[in-house]
Chain A
Amino acid sequence: MTTPSTQLGRPVNRVDGRAKVTGEARYAGEFNVPGLLYGQVVSSTIARGRIKSIDASEALRLPGVLRVFTHENRPSLPWFDRKYRDDDAPSGSPFRPLHNDKVVYSGQPVALVVAETFELARHAASLVRIEYKPDSHETDLRAQRKKAYAPRQGKDGFEPPPKPWGHADKALDKAAVKVDAEYETPVEHHNPMEPHASTVIHEDDGTLTIYDKTQGVLNSQTYVCNVFDLPKEQVRVRSPFVGGAFGSGLRPQYQLFLAVLAARELKRSVRVTLTREQMFTFGHRPATLQRVALGASADGTLEALIHEAVSETSSFEDYIEVLVNWGSMLYRCDNVRADYKVAALDCYTPIDMRAPGAAIGVYALESAMDELAHALRMDPIALRLKNYSERDQNKDKPYSSKELRACYQQGAERFGWARRNPEPRSMREGHELVGWGMATGIWDAMQQPASAKAVLGLDGRLVVSSATADIGTGTYTVMTQIAADTLGLPIESVTFKLGDSSLPMAPLEGGSWTVASVGSAVKEACEKLREQLVTFARKTKGSPLAGVGAEEVVFAEGQLRNASDPSRAVSIVEAMRLGGVTHLEEQTSAVPSPKQQAYTRCVHSAVFAEVKVDEALGTVRVTRVVSAVAGGRVLNPKTARSQVMGGVVWGISMALHEETALDHTLGRFMNHNYAEYHVPVNADVRDIDVIFVDEDDTVVNPLGAKGLGEIGIVGVAAAVANAVFHATGRRVRGLPITLDKLL
């Protein structure tokens, strides 16, 4: 039963596009119900200490203010940590809002004011008087570096650093050419455009329908059920649209806890929406200090590779990410040592942020590779090709596919790399220095277990569903394509449902695994429908396809056809009638095939960047980026391009703009708004060219597709930093590269 693909690989417009351009798409904080109450969070002003007193009397005097929840009046809740854990929780003791009088970070929610209107809640929150007894705090990673320790493991998907092999330190000593440098990356915040919000609709019978901003409705549902001791039947979590998340929705955030608490206590529907300032109070990309040391022989053969990192975590959990493992995956080397430690700060626990670990680990690695190429007087691409790894040395496994050479070659050609004068400061245009830099990108191509349900009706409509999310990634569209393709239906005949805890199980939407995981389940469920339809069509007397071999039946244009004689055909609806059914339903779970275990599965890229630097002002503009990606089979070139392009913008942003600045005296993030936390605007982004190189992978998952959500950012900051060096001769080893570092 092989049918030529009709929907996959096509640049289909987003199926949710109309809802998004007309304003019909509703996000978590936009479900208005009669009698809705508004909760406003009061945030702590100290980083560490105790709450001495809370005086809410002035707030409560206002007509229309219903309650001020604090640790003093909250209901009794479970004691054990495990009740507060979630699918993305690292080891430790998860943060519990309003748990007691202890303050463990600045911006911690310490009260929730609930009122009849938004304005009243906001005003009343300003009237809550809190007295603190502050303790000393520590928020400076450099100061805490000496106290860094090997973190507890236990976060899903974490790979510890590889055990060392060879004698990296000795080999570095002896190497003919070496680079030994420290790189620093700052705290960054996800800042999705939609603030985190939860609307909890309280029904008369006590059941809750919760519209939550999340990357996993099941994760939120489990959390609410565990914390508030509720059966799953009483809690339905929905999230049909998510206004960006980038990892910030991987864990249930405190607005969910607070909204549910208030709704249960007041027996009313409650919404809690965080302010933009409060979007800086629950998780961020951790600051890191990284040492990368590379040694090479004169011909560029890598003799030593050392990558050591100290990353921040909180005082209550050990946040971990894969930071130092990438070098020995990308490059062949006989002497490797990687080391990863964390240091506890009085900040909230970091949380996964787009390409966690890789975005900053590969930045340091690929900057050092550029430094090495320069020291060797070797072309940066040539150095990478010289040490190209055919196998993943960390695990001693082959790659399921790795068309990275094609990325280098096609990217370089499109960019015009051959015309690059390797000498720094050698290229100029008017008053600006021009720099060209490149870097490699890598990310995992993972598959998780997932389920999907497919229901076909006599109206010829197919409804497929799974409790996954679309955070802007294109899940609605690509799942619709996969389903339509499997059953030979037009896109318009298929509806895909997601973001509802009543739907079949799906993993968190993260890690770039959604197409591989949920897509495989959608495909399997639809294939099972196919089998049933084929049986009806072949086994029913009088059917035009009676007696035709199963492998001879193809699905196209809503019909089952004999491949060798297309005039022998029945419509899908007729096939159902032949089978005497009014609807067909299949639910399946797709699990990763055991054959994957023999391989390392990754997506790769080569990134090329052009910068123009005004020598007098130190301003840097990224004028061109080419990103060549080896991502397996591309299911929708339009949404795929958008994913990678968005990732590139994130990389430019990381290189030049983003940094959450801490005031260590106050232990507080200072630039907690869009005016002072810089993300690119339209005028900051110029030409971005995305290339998808051909890559055939029969191992990675049944679709042969690799996720593209994270690869776009990886390598970009290094490519930009390398271009800045090429333009100016100045090696800036701390992000972001702001003009003060160039003057």
Chain B
Amino acid sequence: MARVHYREIEGGSGGYYALLGALAALIFAGLVAAWTMEHEGHYVTGMSNRIVWGTPHVFAVFLIVAASGALNVASIASVFGRDLYKPLARLSGLLAVTLLAGGLAVLVLDLGRPDRLIVAMTHYNFKSIFAWNIFLYTGFFAVVGVYMWTLFERRLNLYSKGVGLVALLWRLVLTTGTGSIFGFLVAREPYDSALLAPLFIVMSFSFGLAIFVLVLMAACGWTGRALGEVVLKRLRELLGVFVATVLYFVAVHHLTNLYIARQHDLERFFLWEGGVYPALFWFGQVLIGGLLPLLLLFGTASRRALAAAALCVILGGLAQLYVLIIGGQAYPQRIFPDKEVSSSFFDGVVAAYAPSLPEVALGAGGVALALALTAVALKVLPFLPRSLADGDVGGSTA
């Protein structure tokens, strides 16, 4: 293929500064929310002793999972040698880093003692998957940083395949770690499954690519760069496969539970009787996040349909994580099987939870941080090709 020419975005327009201003406002709101939660205590949120991980965790886990998935496009180019994806590799690496930064910011600012972050960096219990994740997350920044260096520096291009392979393996381990945060929770029936690790990996493929598609379309659209059908067709098909794979894993998870008698109450809760959670599962996760995107991706070839499908995947992904993280805690722990249980500590009942303003503001602040970092980076370094027009990309081998 012809050599790809990259160029920074101009970033001088009113629209660019308006975007940065809006994102800065959201980041500021997130910081105010974090300060309020830290200062007043978590009682100002919707969280309780029964729902200890709330909306911030939904956003944080979404961003972290999406971060590793955003790197896929680069991996396909470097590791699997698909030329078509090579011009997209730099943006892919950039999003991996910025989304992870946004997710980690939310996670850290939601701690009960965010001022003790240094303790988390100096005291380790290596039996904890959380402790492992601290290394996996910080290591991911380093690995992707080196990987991007090999993509930017022409003399180092020949190493991009090897470093790209390390980055690919690292991100697979990272998402396994994120899924295992829940998968290792033996005492909670909604989690406690080895299936969560591969489920999180396919979720990362899907969410990460959806964000990548939207950012690519917006960046090309707003800077007047050509974005040809060849690239979009590939991304459309790839996203469709990922969305279908997520649905498959979700179906297997539920079918397995439906087969096991002691999990019947659990399935009744999540699929039918659990109030907001079945509603979010069927309408948010399955319909908006799964079936509708498949229809949009495979039913039509329009750009708007692709953008709409990507947006649906993001909304469905947030719904999926809300059901998993918050629904999984709301479902009463089975401490005494075969007994009806009650206490002043909300044993035996579905825990109440409603997202509070500080939680939503903190989560949205993390998303804004990721996007703002991306927007600034696109202006500072040449991440985007000058053109992704059909004639400028090597579609034949893709």
Q: Do A and B come from one complex?
A: no
Residues in chain A within 8 A of chain B (CB atoms): none
Residues in chain B within 8 A of chain A (CB atoms): none
